[in-house]
A = this chain, B = another copy of it.
Amino acid sequence: MIQIVDKPIETDPILRAVDSGEAGAIVTFSGTVRNNARGKQVTYLFYEAYPELAGTELEKVRKEALRRWPLVNVAIVHRIGRMEIGDCSVFIAVSSPHREAAFEACRFVIDTLKVTVPIWKKEFYEDGEVWIEGYCGEISQTSP
């Protein structure tokens, strides 16, 4: 299961998608919007995707996890658009007969996704906004 959605992520259908009598362990990762970043108060976030390529790259990460570990299933759902503090921006669920593989694969998925899948976030503060991009620093400072 791979999805890019513009509504709040519902986790129940994702968990059902990976659940199975073959599974003894389900590890999930939920990326949530923090109220602070880079020493500043965050008021909200905006996630933008290059959807056609993001879908392909998410599927690649999923396939690679299934190839590397003895898993039952992997589901990845990424939300885009505006998100408030505490909202879930990405949810990953990995099921496996045993827990070691589930932990390792879930971590592989989020670590890989963060560098290969074209989805960017813009942090909004009281006094400005910044795109958070690779090698960002000054270059992505769009205001103030």
Residues of A within 8 A of B (CB): 19-36, 85-86, 95, 97, 99, 102-103, 106-107, 110
Contact = CB atoms under 8 A, between A and B. Distances in A.
Given A99-B110, A103-B106, A110-B99, A19 B32 contact: yes
A19 B35 CA distance: 12
The binding surface of chain A is classed by DSSP as mixed
Contacts of A20: 86
The oligomer's copy count stands at 2
Contact of A31 (B24, B34, B36): B24
The 8 closest A-B pairs by CB, nearest first: A21-B35, A26-B30, A24-B34, A28-B28, A21-B85, A103-B107, A27-B29, A23-B32
A36 to B, nearest CB: 8
Nearest to A25: B31
A33 B25 CA distance: 9
B32 A25 contact: yes
Contact of A103 (B21, B97, B103): B103
A26 B26 contact: no
Contact of A21 (B21, B86, B110): B86
A34 B23 contact: yes
